[in-house]
Amino acid sequence: MTELENIKEYEQKHLNFVREKIGKAKEKLTKTIAKAKAGQKDLEKDFYNDVRVKTSTYEGIMETGVSVRQQQQMLMQKENRWQTATRDMETLDKLDKNSYFARVDVQEDGNQTEKIYIGLASFTNPDHPDDYLIYDWRAPISSVYYDSGIGKMTYDAPMGKQTVDVSLKREIQIKDGIVENVLDTDEAIGDPVLLENLSHQSATKMKSIVATIQQEQNAIIRDTSSDLLFVQGVAGSGKTAAVLQRVAYLLYRYRGNLNPGQLILFSPNQLFNDYINQVLPELGEQNMVQMTYYQFMSCRVPHLQVETLQERFEEALDPKQQNVTTFKSSLAFYDLVNRYAKTLNQSHIQFKNIMFKGQVFISKEKIKEIYYSFNDNYTLRTRLESTKDALVKILNGHISSEMKQRWVEETIEGLSKEQLKLLYSKYGDKIGDSDKEYNFLAKRIVKQALRPVLIQIKKQRFFSINRQFAHFLKTVPQLVDLSKYQITEADWQKSVDNTIERFKAGQISMADVSIYLALFDLVTGKRPGLEMKYLFVDEVQDYTPFQLAYLKWNYPRAKFTLLGDLNQAIFTRQNSHTVMDDLKKLFDPAKIRVIKLLKSYRSTMEITDFSKYLIPDGKEIEAFARKGPKPVLAEVPTEIAAIDLVGKTVTKNNEANESTAIICKTLAECREVAQQLKAKAFTATLIQTENQRLVKGAIVVPAYLAKGLEFDDVIMWNGSAENYPTAADDKLVYTICTRAMHNLAIVSIGKPSPIFANEPKDQYELVKG
C-alpha cells in the first residue's frame, strides 16, 4: 500500500467511527422528536380542559387569562423543543453525508497532540459529551486551518490569544460517507482543492466556500472589532462569498444575542438576491434581511416612481448636469440638508391647509403660527408633535360648533332604521330625552365625519414635504457657493426645474429620493433603527457618499461591512480615492479596517490576465492559476454575422450544459439581440428586469443587471468602437468581461473599441469573420 492509501484507509476508519456515533445520536434524537411531538399533541388536546374558565368575576377573568398564558407558554416550549430537535436532526443528516472537510493536528502548551476535525457544525461523542468529534468551522480553533501553514501560530479564543503548534494540515474530501481524497499541505489552504472547486460549472445559485476559505477572506469573516470593515477587492476575489460566510460566522459567534433580523444586506439588484439566497441555508443558517437601495427608498415613497436601475444607467447627463448630480450625491450636500433643516426651526416650514368637506378647516397660516409659537429650544420633532397636539385640540373644539351645522341635521334625517339602531347601540337603552338623543347622534356623526381630519393631523399630512423639498432646492444657491462645485446658478436652476418637472409626473431621481427622505426624516424627527447590529453593502462603489451617510443615519448602531471594487463603478463612475476620505468622516478612523483582495478566483488565468489590461489600475490584479482557453475577440462585418456567431456558440454551450450570458450595454440592445436570436431559432432567455429568475442555459442580459453574477461563458455583445467609443466605458467593459468563469468572447461589429487597444496581442485570439 502506498502512503496515500494508508492515510486514506486510516481516515476512512475514523470516518466510519464518527458516522457510527452520528447514527447513535440520530437514534436518540428521533426518540426525542417523537416524544416532543406526542407531548405537544396531548397538550393541544387538553388545552381547553386544563384552562380554568371563570368569567363571572374580575378575579375569575384574570385567573383564566393567566391559565391560558401558562398553557400557551408550555405549548410554545414544547414546540420549541420539537423545532430545535428537528433542526438538530437536519444538521446531523448533513454531517452524516459530509462529516468534515479538514483535519488539523495541534498541540497546546506541551499537552498531547489533538486531532481537530472541521465540518459544517460541531458534534460531540454521545458517549463522551466532552469529546468533540467535529468542530464547527466557525469555532475559534478552526481558524488555525484557514490562517496558517505548519508550525507555531496564534488564534483568537474567548479567553484571549492562544498559541498552538500545528503539526498536520489535511484536506479531506468526503462523498456520501466515503473518503474520496486526502491532501496534506503546509499551505494555508492548498491550491489543488481550491482548483478543483473553481473548475466546476457555474450554477444559478451561489455556493458556500467553507472548505476553501483563504487567509485574507478569513480575516474578513472573523473581524469583530471594526465599526467599518471596508473590503476593496478585485472582480471575482470572493467578496460576496466571504461576506456571506461572515454572516454565518457572526450568527454563530453571537448566538443567543444576535438574530438574522438584526443583520441587513444591501445588494445591487433582485437577481443577485436570488443568486445568493441558498448560501446561508446551506451553512445551516437563516437568511438575513436582504434588499436593494431602490427598495429601501421606494417603499417609503409609494406615491412616487423612483428612477429604476435601467433609467439610472441609461440616463445621459450633460457634463454640467453631471456636476449637479455629483454635488447632490456628496457628503457636503448631506451636511447642507442638515443645515437647512435646522433653519426651519425659525422659518420657512411648508404646510398645507387641513381640509374638510372641500373647505379649509385649519389654514396653513394658522398651523404655521402654532408651529412657531413654541420655544426656541424645541427640536423639529417636538415642534411638530406639539403642533399636532394643538391641532387635535382645535379639532375637538370644532365638534360642538360643527354639530349645529345644517349637514348634520340632514344626515340624521336621512338615516335608516338600521343605521340608527347601530348608532344607538353604543348609547345604551335609556333613550327618552330627545335633545340628548339628538346631541348624541350629532356628536357621533360629526366625530365620524371628522375622522379623516384627525388622520390628516396624526399622520402630519399638513406638512408638505414636496413643497419643503422644492423650497430647499431653490434655497441652495443662498446656502453655498456653487462655483466651488463648478456649478453656475443657471445650471442649478435647470436641475431644480427638472426635479419639479419629474415630480409633476410622479417621478423622482435616485439622487433626489435620498435627499427628499433625509429631509422628511429630519423635519418629522423619525427615529433611526437602533436594533440593527450589522449592515452589509455589496457593490458599494455604486453608492454615493450621500446614500452611505443616510444609511449610517438610519442604522447608527450597526457595524458596517462595505464591499466594493472601484474598477466596477458603472453608475457613479468614481475613480478617485475620495471614497476613503468620505468614510473617515462618517466613522471613527481608529475603528476602520481596510482589507484588500487582489486575487481573482472566478475566472481562468487567461480571462483575468486579459481583464487586467482593460482598466488603468489593473496591474495589481493577481490571477489564480487555473488554465483555460484564451479570450476570443471576433471582429465581424455585420449584425447578421454577429448573431450567427453568437447563436452557434450558444448552441454549442447548451449542448455542453454550460451557462452562457450574452451581455449587452443597454436593455434596448438586449431586446434586439434576443429577438434576432429567436428569429433564427436559437434559444436564449431575455432578462429584462431584476425581478426575473435566473434560468439555466443562455441568457441575454444588460450589464447593469449582470453585476455580481457569474457564468461559465460570457459573450460580450458588440464591443465595437462604435458602441464603446471612449475610455469612459472601461469599467463597464471590465465588469462584463469579469463575469466569465471559463470562456470569454467579445463580438465586435466592425472595428473593436479602443478599450481593447492596450491588450497585448498574445493575450487573446483575434478572429476576423
Ligand X SMILES: Nc1ncnc2c1ncn2[C@@H]1O[C@H](COP(=O)(O)OP(=O)(O)OP(=O)(O)O)[C@@H](O)[C@H]1O
Question: How far, in Å, CA of 608 to CA of 506, rounded?
Answer: 44
Nearer to ligand X, 122 or 217 (CB): 217
Shorter beta-carbon distance to ligand X: residue 198 or 633: 198
Q: Is 268 a binder of ligand X (CB under 6 A)?
A: no
Q: For residue 527, what is its C-alpha cell?
A: 427615529
- Give me the least distance between CB of 217 and ligand X, in Å please: 6
Site for ligand X in 650-709 (CB under 6 A): 708
For residue 697, give every residue at least 6 positions away whose Cβ sits within 8 Å of its Cβ, in sequence order, or none: 654, 659, 660, 683, 684, 685
Per CB under 6 A, the list member of 233, 284, 618, 631 interacting with ligand X is 233
With respect to ligand X, which residue has the nearer C-beta, 243 or 297?
243
Residues 347-376 within binding reach of ligand X (CB under 6 A): none
Site for ligand X in 700-759 (CB under 6 A): 708, 710, 738
Residue whose CB is less far from ligand X, 39 or 190: 190
> Judged by CB, which is closer to ligand X: 87, or 596?
596
User: Which has the closest alpha carbon to 182: 172, 195, 167?
Assistant: 172
- Do residues 558 and 227 touch, judged by C-beta distance below 8 A? no
Cell of 386: 406639539
Segment near ligand X (CB under 6 A); pick from 145-153, 209-217, 348-356, 485-493: 209-217
Among 235, 403, 642, 684, binds ligand X (CB under 6 A): 235
Residue 624 in grid coordinates: 489564480
Residue 236 interacts with ligand X (CB under 6 A)? Answer: yes
* Greatest Cα-to-Cα distance within the chain, rounded to the nearest angstrom: 109
Of the two residues 350 and 568, which places its CB atom closer to ligand X in the complex?
568
Instruction: Return the C-alpha cell found at 678.
Output: 429567436
Q: In the 8-state DSSP scheme, what is residue 571?
A: T
User: Of the candidates 213, 384, 515, 549, which one interacts with ligand X according to CB under 6 A?
Assistant: 213
Q: How far is CA 621 from the centre of its chain?
A: 27
Q: Which of 78, 169, 238, 716 binds ligand X (CB under 6 A)?
A: 238
Angle between helices 545-554 and 331-343 (to 10 degrees): 60
Cβ burial of 581 (10 Å; 0-12, 13-18, 19+) is exposed
3-class secondary structure, 263: strand
| Strands, E assignment, 245-376 | 263-266, 289-291, 305-306, 354-356, 359-362
Q: What is the grid cell recorded at 349? A: 416650514
Task: Kindly indicate which of the ranges 135-143, 228-236, 375-383, 613-621 contains the residues binding ligand X, using the contact rule CB under 6 A.
Answer: 228-236
Segment near ligand X (CB under 6 A), from 234-242, 318-326, 341-349, 484-492? 234-242
Which of 229, 214, 102 shows the shortest CA–CA distance to 147? 214
Of 237 and 350, the one with the shorter C-beta distance to ligand X is 237
For residue 601, give the 3-state DSSP assignment: coil
Instruction: Pick the closer one to ligand X by CB: 197 or 493.
Output: 197
Q: Which three cell numbers mark 680? A: 433564427
Decide: is 325 part of the binding site for ligand X (CB under 6 A).
no
Q: Binding to ligand X by residue 193, rule CB under 6 A?
A: no
Single residue of 14, 103, 602, 612 touching ligand X by CB under 6 A: 602
For ligand X, give the closer residue by CB, 495 or 574. Answer: 574
Cβ distance to ligand X smaller for residue 521 or 729: 729
Angle at CA 230, nearest 5°, toward 225 and 232?
A: 140
Site size toward ligand X, by CB under 6 A:
22
Q: Which residues, 6+ apart, have CB-to-CB distance to 509 below 8 Å?
A: 307, 312, 499, 502
214 touches ligand X (CB under 6 A): yes
CB of 248 to ligand X, least distance (A): 14
Cα angle vertex 504, ends 501, 508, to 5°? 75
The DSSP line for 663-721 is: EESSHHHHHHHHHHHHHTT---EE--STTSPP-SSEEEEEGGGSTT--EEEEEES--BT
In angstroms, give the least distance from the CB of 98 to ligand X: 16
State the minimum distance, in angstroms, from the CB of residue 739 to ligand X. Answer: 7
Which region, judged by CB under 6 A, interacts with ligand X, from 144-152, 213-221, 490-498, 692-700? 213-221
Among 148, 162, 217, 554, binds ligand X (CB under 6 A): 217
Single out the residue of 293, 555, 601, 724 in contact with ligand X (rule: CB under 6 A). 601
The span of 8-16, 231-239, 259-267, 611-619 binding ligand X (CB under 6 A) equals: 231-239
Instruction: Taking the CA atoms of 60, 65, 70 and 74 in sequence, report the sign of the dihedral they define.
Output: positive
Q: Tell the smallest beta-carbon distance from residue 115 to ligand X (Å).
A: 24
245 binds ligand X (CB under 6 A): no
Q: Which stretch binds ligand X (CB under 6 A): 106-114, 233-241, 448-456, 462-470?
A: 233-241
If one asks whether residue 237 binds ligand X (CB under 6 A), the answer comes out as yes
Question: Which one of 491, 542, 565, 635 is in contact with ligand X (CB under 6 A)?
Answer: 565
Contacts of 617-620 with CB under 8 Å at 24 or more apart are 617/566, 617/567, 618/567, 618/734, 620/234
In whole angstroms, the minimum distance from the beta carbon of 333 to ligand X comes to 28
Exposed e or buried b per residue across 260-293, where buried means at least 16 C-beta atoms within 10 angstroms of its C-beta? eebbbbbbbbbbbbbbbebbbebbbbebbebebb
Please enumerate, by residue number, every residue annotated as part of a binding site for ATP.
233-240
Q: Which residue is nearest to ligand X (CB)?
A: 238
Smallest distance, ligand X to C-beta of residue 695, A: 18
- The torsion defined by the Cα of 396, 399, 400 and 406, in degrees rounded to 10, comes to 170
3-state SS string for 280-311: HHHCCCCCCEEECHHHHHHCCCCCCEECCHHH
Q: Which is closer to ligand X, CB of 233 or CB of 719? A: 233
Task: Choose between 522 and 569: whose C-beta lies nearer to ligand X.
Answer: 569
CB of 116 to ligand X, least distance (A): 20
Binding residue positions:
233-240
Residue 102 is a binding residue for ligand X (CB under 6 A): no
Distance of CA 140 to the CA centre of its chain: 27
The nearer residue to ligand X, 362 or 548, going by C-beta atoms, is 548
Three cell numbers at 199? 473548475
Q: Which stretch binds ligand X (CB under 6 A): 6-14, 178-186, 192-200, 406-414?
A: 192-200
Interface with ligand X (CB under 6 A): 194, 197-198, 209, 212-214, 217, 233, 235-241, 565, 601-602, 708, 710, 738
